[in-house]
């Protein structure tokens, strides 16, 4: 709708404009400050220019009124135009706000947590943000592929093998164990140790040479746990890429960097010249012992990504990886690719409360709050919604008890209640939703027009949310639309009133936007509450 209006106004005025939504809808549904930009050129006051331009729309079927206020031209949409848009939207149904396929291809990588333990609540934020970005992008016609990078090589896997070996000796062999300062802990390791003992015999925990095999077994089990945790949130990936499987490509990757002149040897280590790309220091890619570093693994992976020739690459990383961005982008550029095609989004930490007190750590996980525990306690819908109520790069704190409230303090309840209310009205009126598009409502009341207008903003909200990588715009929109639905419901008698048909059509449009908006957040709207 917004794009359609903007294009129409530009055609009439024969010039590009900025189209805004006034803070107070009483002024109009849309406004443009175009008169201010023309004041110097035409040597007139913005008010006079605006009044002259407003006259060009006097016979328009799209606008009910066009008025001037403080130099702004304000446009109020007509009943006829809004009716046409509503009929089209209701006919489209679940495809409303969908856009035609775009040529741009995007590789979206997110979560990528080490397969050394179950997902914790910090991982959940990047997972939910990434999955929602994926869903919205798909709805808008982008060709997006989702990918999980499995960090199954390096020191963390050695540490997993040691941790599992010691856990097995303690739990299966009943031996006294002295744990090192650094090790993975949690009851999940005892569960995996029990599976290993069942499959290979408990004597495997007598053989210190078996730690690599133990790590591999544990990695597969933990990855299965991770996939199951993600599935609880409705998240599935198209691709899983193993870091370990890519290390065979290190020498060929290294050769490209060397031939391009971006590697050097110092103190028996191999360094990449990342300072040439703005990093605060050059970084080691091969240790003294000849073993590639963690950074080398990421360089191989990004070469693998760019070799697959996507138009854009989006990584969602934890906030602790902020300093890592420059060196990875440097490597991409040094490999001969365009680093501007790589976009890195950061996901900040989460503070979790329960009854205004810090949430207790999970004994099963050792020293973290498990994603699965929170999903089980409040449900995936509430968890997904609350994690999207702030931009991913800002700190988030929330109290679980609030998400159990059956009132407006619980945003997901409030939105679902608006959706369910509309369902009940249609049931009471004995009208099917697909019949609403055939309702004739020629002259809409101001309240009806305003609610329709707000409902029809979904496509522009989705586009802005995706382009700015800000899913909070969707949660804010859905909460605001729900508030308008509740207000409309409380101020009007719907079923049995003289305007029953008009009101039901208006509410059918609101329900459609609520339904699609929630679905793109990974939430199924409730029909009954």
**Mean pLDDT, all residues of the chain:** 93
In a domain, 131, yes or no: no
By residue range, what is the domain housing residue 502? 407-520
On the question of pLDDT at 12 being above 80, the answer is yes
Give the pLDDT mean for 159-171: 95
- Output DSSP code: residue 45: -
Instruction: Please report, for the domain that includes residue 462, its CATH number.
Output: 1.10.730.10
**Distances from the Cα of 405 to the Cα of 251, 339, 355, 476, angstroms:** 57, 46, 12, 19
* β-pair partners for 73: 32, 68
CA distance 216 to 358: 35
Rounded distance between C-alpha atoms, residue 234 and residue 173, angstroms: 39
**Token digits of residue 472:** 């909070």
The pLDDT of residue 494 is above 90: yes
Position with higher pLDDT, 129 vs 353: 129
Give, as one character, the DSSP assignment of residue 456. Answer: T
Strand, coil or helix: what is 150? strand
Share of the chain above pLDDT 70, in %: 99
The pLDDT-based confidence of 396 (bands split at 50, 70, 90) is: very high
Tell me the CATH number at 11.
Answer: 3.30.1360.70
Question: pLDDT tens across 290-343, in order?
Answer: 999 999 999 999 999 999 999 999 999 998 888 899 999 999 999 999 999 999
Structural domain contains residue 302? no
pLDDT, position 496: 93
The tens digit of pLDDT for each residue in 234-270 reads 999 999 999 999 999 999 999 999 999 999 999 999 9
Tokens of 27: 């002024």
309-321 residues labelled b (16+ CB within 10 A) or e (exposed)? ebeebbbbbbbee
| 423 occurs within a structural domain | yes
- pLDDT of 364 over the 60 cut: no
Q: Give 441's pLDDT tier (boundaries 50, 70, 90).
A: confident
8 A C-beta contact, residue 346 and residue 393: yes
CA distance from start to end of the chain? 32
Per-position b or e across 341-359, b if 16+ CB within 10 A of its CB = bbebbbbbebebeeeeeeb
Burial of 33 (0-12, 13-18, 19+ CB in 10 A): middle
Among 28, 51, 77, residue at a domain's last position: 77
DSSP state letters, 328-385: HHHHHHHTTS-GGGEEEEEE--EEEEETTEEPPPPTTTSSS-BHHHHHHHH-HHHHHH
CA angle, 156 as apex, 153 and 161 as ends, to 5°? 95
Residue 368 has pLDDT above 90, yes or no: no
What's the pTM?
A: 0.93
- Block residue for tokens 């999903």: 375
Please indicate, yes or no, if residue 427 is contained in any of the structural domains. Answer: yes
Tell me: pLDDT of 463 over 70.
Answer: yes
Q: What are the tokens at 387?
A: 């994690």
**Whether the predicted pLDDT of 360 surpasses 80:** no
pLDDT, residue 251, reads 95
Give the pLDDT score at 443: 85
d(CA 288, CA 300) in angstroms, rounded, equals: 19
Domain count, the chain: 2
- Any domain includes 30: yes
- Give the whole-angstrom CA distance, residue 364 versus residue 366: 6
Where residue 363 falls among pLDDT bands split at 50, 70, 90? Answer: low
Q: Long-range contacts: 351-360, Cβ < 8 Å, 24+?
A: 351/395, 351/396, 351/397, 351/398, 352/121, 352/397, 352/398, 352/400, 353/397, 353/398, 353/399, 353/400, 353/401, 354/399, 354/400, 354/401, 355/399, 355/401, 356/399, 356/401, 359/400
pLDDT of 183 over the 70 cut: yes
Give me 367's structure tokens.
């020293």
Residue 246 lies in a domain: no
Q: Last residue of a domain, which of 77, 106, 130?
A: 77
Integer Cα distance of 492 and 510 in angstroms: 15
Give the Å distances, CA to CA, from 323 to 17, 317, 320, 340.
40, 11, 8, 17
The residues, ordered by sequence, that sit 6+ positions from 108 with a Cβ below 8 Å of its Cβ are: 130, 133, 134, 137, 144, 145, 146, 147, 314, 316
Q: Is the pLDDT of residue 528 over 80?
A: yes
| Pairwise CA distance, residues 222 & 486, whole Å | 45
Q: Are strands 396-399 and 350-354 parallel, antiparallel or unpaired?
A: parallel
- Asked whether residue 450 carries a pLDDT value surpassing 90, the answer given is yes
Q: What share of the chain is helix, strand, coil (3-state, %, to 5)?
A: 55, 15, 30
Residue 445 lies in a domain: yes
Q: In this structure, is residue 182 part of a structural domain?
A: no
Q: At which of 20, 48, 77 does a domain end?
A: 77
SS (H, E, C) 486-526: HHHHHHCCCCCCCCHHHHHHHHHHHHHHHHHHHHHCCCCCC
Report yes or no: 481 and 423 within 8 Å, Cβ to Cβ: no
């Amino acid at each position: 709708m917004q794009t359609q209006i903007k294009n129409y106004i530009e055609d009439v005025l024969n010039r590009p404009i900025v189209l805004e939504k006034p803070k107070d809808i009483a002024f109009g549904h849309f406004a443009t400050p175009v008169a201010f930009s023309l004041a110097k050129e035409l040597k007139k006051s913005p008010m006079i220019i605006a009044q002259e331009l407003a006259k060009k729309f006097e016979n328009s079927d799209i606008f009910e009124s066009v008025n001037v206020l403080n130099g702004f031209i304000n446009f109020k949409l007509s009943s006829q135009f809004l009716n046409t848009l509503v009929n089209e939207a209701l006919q489209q149904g679940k495809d409303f706000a969908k856009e035609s396929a775009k040529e741009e291809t995007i590789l979206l990588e997110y979560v990528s947590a080490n397969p050394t333990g179950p997902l914790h609540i910090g991982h959940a934020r990047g997972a939910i943000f990434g999955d929602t970005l994926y869903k919205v992008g798909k709805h808008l016609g982008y060709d997006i592929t989702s990918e999980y990078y499995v960090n199954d090589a390096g020191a963390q896997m050695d540490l997993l093998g040691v941790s599992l070996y010691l856990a097995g000796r303690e739990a299966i062999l009943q031996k006294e164990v002295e744990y090192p300062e650094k090790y993975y802990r949690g009851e999940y390791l005892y569960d995996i140790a029990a599976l290993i003992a069942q499959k290979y015999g408990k004597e495997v925990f007598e053989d210190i040479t078996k730690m690599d095999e133990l790590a591999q077994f544990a990695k597969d089990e933990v990855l299965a746990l991770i996939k199951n945790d993600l599935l609880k949130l409705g998240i599935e990936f198209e691709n899983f890429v193993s870091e370990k499987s890519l290390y065979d490509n290190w020498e060929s990757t290294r050769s490209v960097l060397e031939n391009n002149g971006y590697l050097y040897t110092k103190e028996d280590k191999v360094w990449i010249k990342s300072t040439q790309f703005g990093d605060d220091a050059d970084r080691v890619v091969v240790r003294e012992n000849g073993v590639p570093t963690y950074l080398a693994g990421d360089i191989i992976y990004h070469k693998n990504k760019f070799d697959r020739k996507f138009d854009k690459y989006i990584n969602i990383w934890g906030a602790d990886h902020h300093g890592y961005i420059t060196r990875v982008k440097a490597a991409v550029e040094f490999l001969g690719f365009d680093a501007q095609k790589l976009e890195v989004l950061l996901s900040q930490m989460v503070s979790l409360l329960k009854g205004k007190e810090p949430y207790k750590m999970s004994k099963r996980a050792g020293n973290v709050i498990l994603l699965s525990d929170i999903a089980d306690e409040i449900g995936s819908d509430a968890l997904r919604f609350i994690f999207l109520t702030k931009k991913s790069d800002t700190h988030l704190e929330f109290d679980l008890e609030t998400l159990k409230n059956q009132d407006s303090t619980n945003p997901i309840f409030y939105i679902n209640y608006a959706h369910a209310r509309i369902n009940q009205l249609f049931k009471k009126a004995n009208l099917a939703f697909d019949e609403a598009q055939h309702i004739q409502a020629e002259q809409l009341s101001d309240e009806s027009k305003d609610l329709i207008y707000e409902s029809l903003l979904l496509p522009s909200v989705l586009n802005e949310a995706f382009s700015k990588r800000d899913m909070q715009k969707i949660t804010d929109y859905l909460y605001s639309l729900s508030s308008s639905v509740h207000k409309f419901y409380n101020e009007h008698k719907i079923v049995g009133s003289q305007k029953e048909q008009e009101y039901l059509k208006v509410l059918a449009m609101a329900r459609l936007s609520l339904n699609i908006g929630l679905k793109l957040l990974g939430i199924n709207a409730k029909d009954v509450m």
